[in-house]
Amino acid sequence: MSTLVKLCGLMRPQDVEAANRARPDMVGFILSKGFRRSIKPRRAIELIERLDENIAVVGVFVNEPIYNVTRFTHTFDFDGYDAARTILVQLHGDEDNAYIDELRHAMAYPGWWGISIIKAFTVRTAEDVARACASTADYVLLDNGQGTGETFDWSLVRNVDRPFVLAGGLGPHNVAAAIEAVHPWAVDMSSGIETNGVKDPNKMLAAVAAVRGAR
């Protein structure tokens, strides 16, 4: 199965336009306050309206009340939105399995389709990997930390036996090597597709092409 590609931290209409040209599998919007790439949920909805419907949307949240997460996800059940749009939730804080289970229950109601949950973990040791593997999330994201833009020791995740997203310091220059090394379910790039702190359309195109060409 080919590795999927997620481009994260989109903030501007031109970022979405570049994503539409690059055609990643997923794009992410950071919807919690206090981070350099944070945007308000209403702004995210406006940007998503410009996004190709075949590109999945990932709402990224950090230690948010469950209501704040479901208020965003339930937006897509309103008339005017195509139910074919794939929505995922990424949790990038201290959310535990109890939170994940409660969120999954809150997002399930009659007429609503399933939303996958990604839980992010900082990886420093084999124990961190074991903790990630015990998560009840649908997928886990393995990273060097919140937005550090640095890689970690990929050898720690070579034997992970569940679908995972590889993140941290990835870009057009090294994403193919990362895929060949650990065969993740998906890769996630943000700072590696930026120039001077903003999304670079050429790097976005090159990053997606590198993933598509990886073995």
Per residue in 126-144, pLDDT (tens digit) is 999 999 999 999 999 999 8
- Taking a C-beta distance cutoff of 8 angstroms, is the pair 183, 160 a contact? no
Q: Which residues contact 175 (CB under 8 A, 6 or more apart)?
A: 5, 187, 189, 192, 207, 210, 211, 214
Q: What is the mean pLDDT of the chain?
A: 90
How many percent of the chain have pLDDT more than 90? 77
User: What is the value of pTM for the model shown?
Assistant: 0.92
Whole-number pLDDT of residue 74: 83
Q: Is the pLDDT of residue 20 over 70?
A: yes
Q: Given a cut of 80, is residue 150 above it in pLDDT?
A: no
For the four alpha carbons of 92, 90, 133 and 135, in that order, the dihedral sign comes to positive
How far apart are alpha carbons 192 and 210 in whole angstroms? 13
Q: Examine the pLDDT at 171 and tell me if it is beyond 90.
A: yes
Q: Poorest-confidence range of 4-18, 82-96, 195-209? A: 82-96
Split at pLDDT 50, 70, 90, the class of 79 is very low
- Identify the weakest region by mean pLDDT among 33-37, 104-108, 208-212: 104-108
Homologous superfamily of 4-213 = Aldolase class I (3.20.20.70)
pLDDT at 123: 93
Give me the phi and psi of 46, to 5 degrees please: -60, -40
The pLDDT assigned to 42 comes to: 92
> What's the pLDDT band for 215 if we cut at 50, 70, 90?
low
For residue 77, is pLDDT > 70?
Answer: no
Q: What is the pLDDT of residue 112?
A: 54
Residue boundaries of the structural domains of the chain: 4-213
